[in-house]
Amino acid sequence: MSTASRLPGIVTTDHVFHLPLDHRSPEGEQIEVYAREVVASGREGDDLPWLLFLQGGPGGKSNRPVGRDGWLVRALDDYRVLLLDQRGTGRSTPATRQTLARRGGPEQQADYLAHFRADSIVRDAELIRRRLLGDTGRWSLLGQSFGGFCTLSYLSIAPEGVREAFVTGGLPGLRSSAEDVYRAAYPRVARKNAGHYARYPDDVTAVQRIAAHLLEQPAELPGGGLLTVQAFQGLGMLLGTGSGSHVLHYLLEEAWVEGVAGPELSDTFLAGVQAQLSFAQGPLYAVLHESIYGQRSVDPAGTEWAAERVRKEFPEFDAEAAVREGRAVLLTGEMIYPALFDSDPALRSLRETARLLAERTDWPDLYSPERLATNQVPVVAAVYHDDMYVDTADSLATADAVRNVRVWVTNEWEHDGLRVSGGVVLDRLIRMARGEI
C-alpha cells in the first residue's frame, strides 16, 4: 500500500517493491526496494513525465526532502520525481553488519553482496518502471556521481526504458580498471591538499601535530572506533566538496584541549571526526567501493584492494615519513583500505567479507562500449573541472565514446554541485537538453 504525505510545497508517496535478489532467478529470494515519489503540491493529478534519481555512493540512500528544497526546486517544475533507495540502503532491505550476520559467514555474505552493484540496481529500476509506467512508458534519469555510473549501465542494459539522461559528476571510465582509477586519483587528491593548505597555511602544522600524536597513541572515538593516522587521513574526503575545505579547517581549529596530563585531543574534535569518518550509516560504501569498478574483461584478477596497492606508488601520502621529515601530511580521498575494517566498529565484522569481494574475479562487465557507441538516448552531463572523485579525463573520454552526449565542463562547482546549487546545475542541464543553450 502506498502512503502519501504533505510537506511544504510537495506531496510524497511511499512505494515498496518486492524484487528478485538475483535477476537471473526471478522466482528466487526476494528483497524489498523502497522509492519515494515526489510531486509539486497541487500537481498530484497532472500527467507529468517521471524523473528517476540515482544517488551517489555506492551504498547511499536517496535524499530525504523536507520540502521543495535543493535540486527538487527545479526538477518539480517539469517532473514527477522518484527517489530510489538503491538495494541495501535506506528503507530498502538493509545490508549492514547486523543484517548480513543473519546470512551466515563471510562467503555467504560476499555471495549475497555480489548482487548489489550497478547492474542489479538498473534491473531493479527497470521492473519498477514497468510497474509504475507500464511496459512502454519511458522515464528520464538523473545520476549523481555513482548514480552516473548506474546511468551508463542503464544505457548499456535497457536504453529502451529511458527518454533522456542527466549526469552530474558521474561519467565513468568505461574501460578503466580499479588500479587505473586510483592511479589517476592520488595526484588529484594531492592537488586538493595543496589548495587547502594554500587557503589555510596554519593547517599544515595543525595536521602534522595531530598525525604525530596519533602515530604514538591512536585515539578512541566516542563510538568505540580507533582513530589511527591512516583513518585520520581519510578526512581528505572533505576536500572534494564545495565547502569541505572550510569544514575541515574548523574541525582542526578545535582539536586540542588542556587535560589533566597536558594537551589532548578534544571530545569536540573526536566527535566531529567520528561524524565524518564512521561508516555506520553507509557500510556498503566501504564494502563495495572497489567492486563498482570490477569488470572481468578489464580486471580479470579482481580489484584486490587497488587503492592500498597503488598508494605505494605515491610515497608523499606516507604520513609517518611526512612527520619525520617535517613536511605537510597529505590527507587521502575516497580510498578504502583494509585497515579501516579494523578501526571502524561498523566494519570490523565485515573485514573477511570485504576481502572476498576484493578477490572476486567473476564480476560481469557493467558497460557495453559497443552499444553505447550507437546510443540513441539524449545524455547531458556536467563534468566538474578537476573533480576529486571522478577523473575528468575519463569522463571526457567517455563522452567522446558514447553517442548523443553533450557535456558542460565547469569549475564553478565541485562534485556536490547538484546538491548545493539550489537547482542551478540541473536547470542548465535541462536547458541544454532542450537546445536552449
Give residue 139's domain range. 4-174+367-433
Domain final position from 319, 340, 359: 359
Residue 190 confidence (pLDDT) above 70: yes
Tell me the one-letter amino acid at 113.
L
The 10 Å CB-count burial string (b at 16+, else e) for 70-97 is bbbbbbbeebbbbbbbbbbbbebbbbbb
How far apart (Å, rounded) are the C-alpha atoms in residues 284 and 85? 13
Q: What's the chain's average pLDDT?
A: 97
Comparing CA positions, the residue from 147, 150, 72 lying closest to residue 419 is: 72
State pLDDT tens for residues 61-117. 999 999 999 999 999 999 999 999 999 999 999 999 999 999 999 999 999 999 999
How far apart (Å, rounded) are the C-alpha atoms in residues 349 and 342? 9
Comparing CA positions, the residue from 421, 389, 418, 436 lying closest to residue 51 is: 418
192 and 169 in a common domain: no
46 and 152 in a common domain: yes
Residue 155 pLDDT:
98
341 and 193 in a common domain: yes
Q: Is the dihedral of CA 265, 269, 271, 276 positive or negative?
A: negative
- Other CB atoms within a 10 A radius of the CB of residue 251 amount to 19
209 and 150 in a common domain: no
Residue 409 pLDDT:
98
State pLDDT tens for residues 335-350. 999 999 999 999 999 9
Residue 1 confidence (pLDDT) above 60: no
Tell me the one-letter amino acid at 81.
V
152 and 32 in a common domain: yes
Helix (H, G, I), strand (E, B) or coil at 14: strand
Residue 3 pLDDT:
80
Q: Is the dihedral of CA 67, 278, 197, 195 positive or negative?
A: negative
297 and 281 in a common domain: yes
Instruction: Tell me whether residue 393 is exposed, middle or buried, using C-beta atoms within 10 angstroms of its C-beta: 0 to 12, 13 to 18, 19 or more.
Output: exposed
402 and 290 in a common domain: no
Which domain CATH number covers 95? 3.40.50.1820
The mean per-residue pLDDT over the stretch 293-322 comes to: 97
156 and 10 in a common domain: yes
| Phi and psi angles of residue 294, each rounded to the nearest 5 degrees, phi first | -70, 120
Domain final position from 359, 394, 412: 359
| Phi and psi angles of residue 103, each rounded to the nearest 5 degrees, phi first | -90, -10
What lies within 8 Å, CB to CB, of 32 at 6+ separation is 16, 17, 18, 19, 91, 92, 93
Residue 35 pLDDT:
98
Q: Specify the pairing of strand 262-265 against strand 379-384.
A: unpaired
Which grid coordinates belong to 75? 526538477
204 and 120 in a common domain: no
Residue 392 pLDDT:
97
How far apart (Å, rounded) are the C-alpha atoms in residues 177 and 56? 19
State pLDDT tens for residues 208-258. 999 999 999 999 999 999 999 999 999 999 999 999 999 999 999 999 999
Residue 400 pLDDT:
98
385 and 312 in a common domain: no
Instruction: Tell me whether residue 121 is exposed, middle or buried, using C-beta atoms within 10 angstroms of its C-beta: 0 to 12, 13 to 18, 19 or more.
Output: buried
How far apart (Å, rounded) are the C-alpha atoms in residues 2 and 50? 17
Residue 2 confidence (pLDDT) above 80: no
| Nearest-5° Cα angle at 276, 343 to 151 | 105
251 and 206 in a common domain: yes
What lies within 8 Å, CB to CB, of 329 at 6+ separation is 207, 208, 211, 233, 319, 322, 323
Comparing CA positions, the residue from 153, 136, 143, 266 lying closest to residue 210 is: 266
Contact call for residues 293 and 182 (beta carbons, < 8 A): no
Q: Is the dihedral of CA 71, 74, 75, 76 positive or negative?
A: positive
The mean per-residue pLDDT over the stretch 375-389 comes to: 97
Contact call for residues 29 and 20 (beta carbons, < 8 A): yes
Domain final position from 324, 341, 359: 359
Residues that are catalytic: 145, 362, 415
164 and 88 in a common domain: yes
Residue 433 confidence (pLDDT) above 70: yes
Going from the C-alpha of 233 to that of each of 191, 252, 336, the distances in angstroms are 15, 13, 11
Instruction: Tell me whether residue 171 is exposed, middle or buried, using C-beta atoms within 10 angstroms of its C-beta: 0 to 12, 13 to 18, 19 or more.
Output: buried
How far apart (Å, rounded) are the C-alpha atoms in residues 278 and 286? 10
Query: Residue 310: pLDDT band by 50, 70, 90 thresholds?
Result: very high
Give the total number of structural domains in the chain: 2
